[in-house]
Amino acid sequence: MSKIICNRVDFVFVSEIQTMDSAHVPVLKEGTLWKPINGIEKPVYQSNVKQQDAGSVNEETLSVKSRRNNLTELLISFCGFYTVLRIGSDAGLFYAGSPDYPCILEYASDGVFDSFLFHAASPA
């Protein structure tokens, strides 16, 4: 299992992706921008490859806690929609989720702070 402390996390909804390029980088539809999730703590990304009867599966999670804001309201209002994450770390940018295997959001709030937990699983 790998664990990475992240510098930044941005998201787009799967419906905002035009295609994936040959390096598996999302190409966004015209006029679409990545939306930042401004954490109050460093986001934590974890990845784990598990062997299953049907083959290897890469399970990814990212947790981030933020102060409630307008972006939080956007994520909550579209909570049923799938996302792709762009994650920045000291090693550079990488992506979690894809249009075929998107991140699914679990959300909790105390009214002041919001906790986001994104899950994605794809063939390894």
What confidence tens digit (pLDDT) does each residue in 56-104 have? 999 999 999 988 877 666 666 665 568 899 999 988 999 999 999 999 9
* pLDDT for residue 33: 94
For residue 60, what are the β-bridge partners? 47, 120
pLDDT at residue 79, as a whole number: 57
Structure confidence at residue 48 (pLDDT): 94
Q: What span, in angstroms and rounded, lies between the C-alpha atoms of 30 and 89? A: 26
How many structural domains compose the chain? 1
pTM given for the model: 0.85
Q: Which domain holds residue 38?
A: 2-123
